[in-house]
Chains A and B, each alone.
Chain A
Amino acid sequence: MKFTQPLMTLLIGLTLSAAALAEPLLITGAGATFPYPLYSKWFSEYQKIEPNVQLNYQSIGSGGGIRQFGERTIDFGATDVPMTDGQLAKTDAPVLHIPTVMGAVVLTYNLPGVTETVRFSPEVIADIFLGKIKKWNDPAIQTINPGIALSDIAIAVVRRSDGSGTTGIFTDYLSKISPAWKEKVGQGASVNWPVGLGGKGNEGVTGLVKQTPGAIGYVELIYAANNNLPYALIKNKAGKFVSPTMKTVSSAAAGSLKSMPGDFRVSITNADGKESYPISGFTYLLVYQKTPGEKGKKLVNFLNWAITDGQKFAEALSYAPLPKELVGKIRNKVKTIDTQ
């Protein structure tokens, strides 16, 4: 019995050191659910490039991401809505917002017998979601859709019941285009909706819209596209009706480049530009300005990859890639991360 003991010790020691050698550097993050499909693609692709780094991401929601990032239980956070000044003041160190990709929010609807694409103006959208327009054949809708025979079916507003970045972008848009909305409801991940049914998640909203004749709801572009739902043309700031595509979303980002603040905390809803789709937004990764050590260096490498090579995975998953002009600015920002 006695001679097996050193042998065992040796074996255990060997296994442990082998494990230590093969153990990749684990970088953990958590937050927004909206970019999760893209992020998980990125992390698996990035592991092929740098096998020693393993990125671990939990899609717990933007709010949860900001909370955990603030408590430093994770190395990076992710959010669809930039942190507020109040939230930033509460963190114990400076925080950087790194835009990674853009997404569009589309209006989808269920109008039996209508095959043409419905058009909406900002005023009509606000009045529908404020509960002022109640029927589909309301003159306000009919005048901007002259070719479509709209019936007197009641409008059933469908919106997200769970707090979400999608709601954040949509209510940000409504607050910009409608003073009444801004005063009565405002902008946020969860708001006090004047009317409507709540569906949980994008899938809950698409489910309700699909099943309720006369319904109108807002979802992320990828969900409408994947579920073959119709989505409306929306009149932008320049007065043109545009469809949500990669091009029109990128154009919205480019349109707001001039007014882009240094920390990238910007809303690109109702952006300038003839081709700009008005309801879209950035999604961000949150990192601390000072992220020391090996972890910081590897995280910087990953961020640089994500905003350049990583962008080519965006389109296949219905996210709009960052406009070229912006990538340089973000890269300069990533350079300022202090890894010492």
Chain B
Amino acid sequence: MIRSKSHKDIHFADRFFAGTLQAIAWGVPLLLVFIAIFLTWKSLPTIRLFGFSFLTSQTWDPVQDQFGALPVVYGTLVSSFLAVLLAAPISIGVALFLTELAPSWLARPVGFLVEMLAAIPSVVYGLWGIFVLAPLLRTTVQPALAKSLGHFPLFEGPPLGVGMMAAGVILAIMIIPTIATLSREVFLAIPAIQRENALALGATRWEMMQIAVLKTARSGILGAIILGLGRALGETMAVTMLIGNRAEISASLLAPGQTMSSLLANEYAEASGELHLSALLEVGLLLFLVTFIINALARLFVWRSTLGKSPR
């Protein structure tokens, strides 16, 4: 009697525990759904009023209640892609050096320091950007660019220091640890025997890295880059402090810009008009969708690489 009862109890406890865990596990994706529903619901006024033109209009005028998100979508994508363009080669180089070339007494502390870059708070990057990076860009880098490449629209205009370029550079520094650390993990997942095979076939060290490491890890590297891109897209504080906060599409990297997240950080606290609030939340919804899609893509690529087979 007693034994069977306790047996039953154990079963009940098991079931209870499993049920609780299941509820918690379902809770997280549900939260995601709720956030999406909330954002959509709150942005209904502007979705109804502006419809698709919200994505194509370039005017953001809270006084006249005219809202278009194109400049901030543009600013977000350009600053983030610029960051990836600068950060990806450096990060992959760092990861290759750490896994293939550096002796372990060097690889460990250097790897640790690269990871530490990710621990610096965003606002500290922003302050450093204002006091060191922006003056450097204004007095040295941008005049040199204007002198040599000033006739390209990409480098036109007065050197202000802050602007799209400053935002891209600061984002690049911030996403280097993400891309470098993930690429290193992907490289480490490649079996040593593959490298040995390449070397045994007469490959030089550089050829071995090309054939056995980089080629194999291609989709993993892509995943790491996309995760870095995801971080850059949502980054707020440092960008707000450096981008110049002007919702305008300009071909020049020297000109100020505005991103979705910096627009939200700037205007939400003081927004009191109903349409203004709704427009800001619709920008939030757009940002949510963009980062969601990018992160989903990254997962797909990293899975393919680390599992060694396609998820199909």
Residue from B63, B269, B272 in contact with A187 in the complex, judged by beta carbons closer than 8 Å: B63
Mostly, the B contact residues are loop
Taking CB atoms and an 8 Å cut-off, the chain B residues in 158-175 that contact chain A are 158, 160-163
| Cα of A229 to Cα of B293 in the assembled complex, Å | 47
Whether A192 pairs with B270 at a CB distance below 8 angstroms is: no
Residue from B59, B267, B276 in contact with A162 in the complex, judged by beta carbons closer than 8 Å: B267
Give, as a whole number of angstroms, the nearest-CB distance from B150 to chain A. Answer: 15
Whether B130 pairs with A211 at a CB distance below 8 angstroms is: yes
Binary per-residue interface labels of chain A (57-92) against chain B in the complex, 1 for a CB within 8 Å, 0 otherwise: 000111110110000000000000000000100000
Chain B contacts of A204 at CB under 8 A?
241
Chain A contacts of B45 at CB under 8 A?
none
Q: Among A67, A161, A162, A200, which residue has the most Cβ atoms of chain B within 10 A?
A: A161
Chain B contacts of A189 at CB under 8 A?
62, 270-272
Residue from A161, A162, A186, A196 in contact with B64 in the complex, judged by beta carbons closer than 8 Å: A186
| Cα of A185 to Cα of B66 in the assembled complex, Å | 12
Give, as a whole number of angstroms, the nearest-CB distance from A131 to chain B. Answer: 12
Taking CB atoms and an 8 Å cut-off, the chain A residues in 167-187 that contact chain B are 185-187
Residue from B62, B160, B244, B256 in contact with A190 in the complex, judged by beta carbons closer than 8 Å: B62
In the complex, whether A95 has a CB less than 8 A from a CB of chain B is no
Whether B62 pairs with A200 at a CB distance below 8 angstroms is: no
Whether A164 pairs with B61 at a CB distance below 8 angstroms is: no
Taking CB atoms and an 8 Å cut-off, the chain A residues in 203-234 that contact chain B are 204, 207-208, 211-212
Whether A212 pairs with B270 at a CB distance below 8 angstroms is: no
In the complex, whether A188 has a CB less than 8 A from a CB of chain B is yes
**Least CB separation from A213: chain B residue:** B138
In the complex, whether B53 has a CB less than 8 A from a CB of chain A is no
| Cα of A200 to Cα of B270 in the assembled complex, Å | 13
Q: Contacts A162-B266, A190-B271, A208-B162 hold; do A198 and B63 have CB atoms under 8 A apart?
A: no
| Cα of A210 to Cα of B144 in the assembled complex, Å | 23
| Cα of A61 to Cα of B280 in the assembled complex, Å | 16
In the complex, whether B134 has a CB less than 8 A from a CB of chain A is yes
Chain B contacts of A156 at CB under 8 A?
158, 160
Q: Contacts A198-B245, A199-B245 hold; do A164 and B161 have CB atoms under 8 A apart?
A: no
Chain A contacts of B246 at CB under 8 A?
193, 196-198
Residue from A62, A66, A154, A198 in contact with B256 in the complex, judged by beta carbons closer than 8 Å: A198
In the complex, whether B301 has a CB less than 8 A from a CB of chain A is no
Residue from A200, A207, A212 in contact with B245 in the complex, judged by beta carbons closer than 8 Å: A200
Chain B contacts of A207 at CB under 8 A?
130
Whether B135 pairs with A163 at a CB distance below 8 angstroms is: no
Taking CB atoms and an 8 Å cut-off, the chain B residues in 245-267 that contact chain A are 245-246, 256, 258, 262, 265-267
In the complex, whether B183 has a CB less than 8 A from a CB of chain A is no
Whether B60 pairs with A154 at a CB distance below 8 angstroms is: no
**Least CB separation from B59: chain A residue:** A192
Give, as a whole number of angstroms, the nearest-CB distance from B47 to chain A. Answer: 21
In the complex, whether B76 has a CB less than 8 A from a CB of chain A is no
Chain B contacts of A64 at CB under 8 A?
269-270
Interchain residue pairs with CB less than 8 A apart (18): A61-B269, A63-B272, A66-B272, A87-B272, A156-B160, A163-B269, A163-B271, A186-B64, A188-B63, A189-B272, A190-B62, A190-B276, A191-B63, A196-B246, A197-B160, A197-B244, A197-B246, A211-B134
* Chain B residues near A (Cβ < 8 Å): 59-64, 130, 134-135, 138, 158, 160-163, 240-241, 244-246, 256, 258, 262, 265-272, 276
